[in-house]
Amino acid sequence: MKLKLMVALAAMAFGAVAHAQSSVTLYGSVDGGLLYQSTSAASFSPTAKDLGKIYRYKDAGIYSSFWGLKGVEDIGGGYAVNFRLQGVLDTGTGKLGLSDTAGVPGFFNQIATVGVSGPFGSINAGRQIAPMIYAMAETDVRASQYFGSILSGWLGLNTAAGWPGTSTNGPIGALYDSNALVYRSPVFHGVSTELEYALGGVAGQPQGNTRESAVLKYSGYGLRLSALYYNGHDTNPGPTTVPTGLNNNRYWYLGALYKYEGFSISGSYSNGSNPAHRNLVDLDLYSFGLGYRFAPDFQITGGLYYIKDKNTSANKSLQIAAGAEYNLSKASVLYAQVGWVNNHGDMTQTITYGQPAAPGMGTTAAMIGIRHNF
């Protein structure tokens, strides 16, 4: 009897330990506010008409609203298996975010991965946020926010290259990649690397729809450095396009950010082009940022983002943005932001993601809102 009791207690203890080694977490963020913009348009087309001033509720003043599930299981020896599912939602309408297919929403349109991690680093497979975006965010004082940052500048490169904004499959770089394998190395003396390869899965076309990228980063002594290279095939396709492996998406970026006490300063240079038709798409993006943290819960940041068309000198765009953020708690942030963009020629750089500005003219925008993480 005593032996049976001991075996039962041991089994219960083992079950409790096994259960403690795995976990599943529901998480997310809700972000929304009020936006004013002095011009507006129905699309990102360079021929779109100015529809006038707009006052609206706007989702995603800092970053998108999203929700997700993530889990990890410790399998011993310093190794773990993980999964992550994450999708965007618009708090103004309740709609889901876009997928790679024009006009079609995706339930988990940001992340749907399974992977393994250990002393070697980590490997994740599935749809995921492209490593290049993290590298850009980490070397931008504005941290790639949806309102006036290196992200809005990069989106300006995409609209200048013909991206209609109806899918997540852009012609320059990528915010998300489907069917991707991403390796992240451990950090060694401040240096780390990320390598990505996305399989296309096109019959008879080994390079059809494929993507590859590499990121090299350094962090130490208040300094962050990022270098990235991205190359894609068959990006930004038409509705009846058959993938052929055309190499038409190339982007590279060099960025730096330095922090000293409360001050931060950043700068970058990048180029986006269509290798198959460089005479049609060859765009430079320059950025400069400056920020100051007055207290642990309050900071201001500002940035300048300039786009130049190397093929047509009349096409250029300058954006200036600034914002203040106050942390109400560890989970909630109040923010106020203001920006101005001056588009010339065919440029359609926007101030905030998801709200087109009239092409070929100056536009001012301001937004106040709140973001809560859970």
What is the 3 state secondary structure string of 99-158? Answer: CCCCCCECCCCCEEEEEEEECCEEEEEEEEECHHHHHHHCCCCCCCCCECCHHHHHHHHH
d(CA 15, CA 7): 12
Q: Which two tokens stand for residue 264?
A: 């931060």
> Which tens digits make up the pLDDT trace of 325-353?
999 999 999 999 999 999 999 999 999 99
Q: DSSP code of 160?
A: H
Return the pLDDT at 103.
Answer: 87
Return the pLDDT at 3.
Answer: 43
Domains annotated for the chain, with CATH where assigned, are: 28-373 (2.40.160.10)
> Which tens digits make up the pLDDT trace of 174-185?
999 999 999 999
C-alpha count within 13 angstroms, C-beta hemisphere, residue 113: 27
Return the pLDDT at 242.
Answer: 85
> Which tens digits make up the pLDDT trace of 107-128?
999 999 999 999 999 999 999 9
126 backbone dihedrals φ, ψ, rounded to 5°: 130, -165
Q: What is residue 266's three-state secondary structure?
A: strand
| Residues 106 and 96: beta-carbon distance below 8 Å | yes
pLDDT band (50, 70, 90) for residue 15: very low
pLDDT band (50, 70, 90) for residue 272: very high
pLDDT band (50, 70, 90) for residue 307: very high
Buried b (16+ CB within 10 A) or exposed e, 320-350: bbbbbbeeeeeeebebbbbbbbbbbbbbbbb
Provide, rounded to the nearest whole percent, the portion of the chain with pLDDT above 70: 94
d(CA 71, CA 213): 26
Burial label for 316, CB within 10 Å (0-12, 13-18, 19+), is buried
Distances (CA, A) of 95 to 41, 202, 256: 21, 30, 36
240 backbone dihedrals φ, ψ, rounded to 5°: -115, 15
Burial label for 94, CB within 10 Å (0-12, 13-18, 19+), is exposed
> Which tens digits make up the pLDDT trace of 152-171?
999 999 999 999 999 999 99
Q: DSSP code of 277?
A: G
Q: What is the mean pLDDT of residues 267-272?
A: 98
20 backbone dihedrals φ, ψ, rounded to 5°: -70, -20
Q: What is residue 59's three-state secondary structure?
A: strand
β-bridge mates for residue 72, sequence order: 23, 82
> Which tens digits make up the pLDDT trace of 209-247?
999 999 999 999 999 999 999 999 999 877 677 899 999
Buried b (16+ CB within 10 A) or exposed e, 262-299: eebebbbebbbbbeeeeeebbbbbebbbbbebeeeeeb
Q: Which two tokens stand for residue 218?
A: 């350094």
Distances (CA, A) of 108 to 64, 111, 308, 371: 13, 6, 35, 21
Cβ neighbours of 232 (radius 10 Å) = 28
pLDDT above 70 (res 9) = no
Distances (CA, A) of 215 to 41, 153, 197, 334, 356: 35, 19, 12, 32, 30
